[in-house]
Amino acid sequence: MLTLSVRHGAWAALMAAACAASPATQAQTDFPTHRITLVVPAAPGGGLDGTARLLSQRMSAVWGQGVVVENNGGADGLIATQKVAKSAPDGYTMLLQIPSLLLLKHTHKDMSFDPVADLAPVAELARTPSAVTVQSSLPVHSIKELAAWCNKAATPCSWGSGQQLSYLYGRRLFALAGIGKSINIPYKGTAPVITDLMGGHITIGITSIAAPLPYQQSGALRILAVNAEQRSSQAPDVPTFREAGVQVPARGSWYGLFVPRHTPPEVVAKIEKVITSLAGDKEAAEAIQRLGAEPVFGSTRDFAAGIREDQAFLDDLVRRYPLN
């Protein structure tokens, strides 16, 4: 009888533990059951925000729950990143970021969290190449001509960058292209770079292709080359850096989705499934391309591997070209 009682007690304890755990397990299985917030470290408009709104619409359609885009800019994306990293790990607060996330440890060394360790990558949605842009009135049509122009100029060519990432890419490009006479003008965002480039206040703009693309199409600006493996579908006449004779590693910018670390794998898998299902969606691909980016809609595994590579690549650039 004692043995039976012990067995009965153990079974009862096991069942009680299972019942106690079932609400959380059920919640993970039923995800999502209420509204989701998708945080974007950028103002409304632009490629990152447009991608977020496309994703929110698709998630809402699949899940039958509202997905609200929250624009939360400032501090190089630190504010938005910290909000998500410190939120509950349940999948209801997500972050859409760019590779600047990987530079926060270099630019904000007093952070109370680790942007990479405290976030879990879900998927890369799109990739947008960086571009070298000049006024259409400037008598240069290639990177080599730009190098010759700047090196012969009486005063150093000025170039604008609106992000730390663009600054690093610009420094690396100028070094490899042999542009020895130049001065960087840092801006708070990409829009003022384009404004001053249009106004003739700077010679060169280093930005993602999404910013100058409309002005390239109107003839006001000229994109000389893009940093990508292949030409942009929105600017097929513009060569890649390698085609332009500059042998640099093809590194652009990605739009990637993150959730807080320790978000249940089942929840991450559900989010990943929505994104990868867009890979064969022509309408979604065309929407991304209209924003100046190229669709990826990749897996969690591939995105995580890419982040590791990009972190090593950017750490090396920072060692070569220290950030202020």
Strands (E), the chain: 36-40, 67-71, 93-97, 119-128, 130-135, 157-161, 182-186, 204-208, 221-227, 253-260, 294-295
- Residues contacting residue 10 through CB under 8 Å, at least 6 positions apart: none
Residue 23 confidence (pLDDT) above 50: no
Q: Where are the domains of the chain?
A: 34-127+252-320, 130-227
Residue 5 confidence (pLDDT) above 80: no
What percent of the chain shows pLDDT beyond 90? Answer: 76
Instruction: Specify burial of residue 27 (Cβ count, 10 A radius: 0-12, 13-18, 19+).
Output: middle
CB 204 within 8 A of CB 160: yes
What would you report as the CA-atom Rg of the chain, rounded to the nearest whole angstrom? 23
CA-CA distances (angstroms) from residue 163 to 92, 196, 223, 248? 28, 15, 18, 19
pLDDT tens column, 171-194: 999 999 999 889 999 998 888 999
Strand-pairing partners, residue 67, are 36
CA-CA distances (angstroms) from residue 305 to 99, 299, 315? 14, 10, 16
Q: Supply the pLDDT for residue 4.
A: 42
Answer yes or no: same fold for 34-127+252-320 and 130-227: yes
What kind and span of H or E run contains 162? none
Q: What span, in angstroms and rounded, lies between the C-alpha atoms of 203 and 134?
A: 6
What kind and span of H or E run contains 280? none
- At 28, is the pLDDT very low, low, confident or very high (cuts 50, 70, 90)? low
What architecture (CATH level 2) is domain 34-127+252-320? Answer: 3-Layer(aba) Sandwich (3.40)
pTM of the model: 0.86
For 130-227, CATH number? 3.40.190.10
Q: What span, in angstroms and rounded, lies between the C-alpha atoms of 122 and 119?
A: 9
Residue 1 confidence (pLDDT) above 60: no
Sheet harboring 130-135: ordered strands across?
Answer: 182-186, 157-161, 204-208, 130-135, 221-227
**Structure-token pair, residue 187:** 């801006």
pLDDT tens column, 207-259: 999 899 999 999 999 999 999 889 998 899 999 999 999 887 777 789 999 99
- At 53, is the pLDDT very low, low, confident or very high (cuts 50, 70, 90)? very high
Q: Supply the pLDDT for residue 10.
A: 47
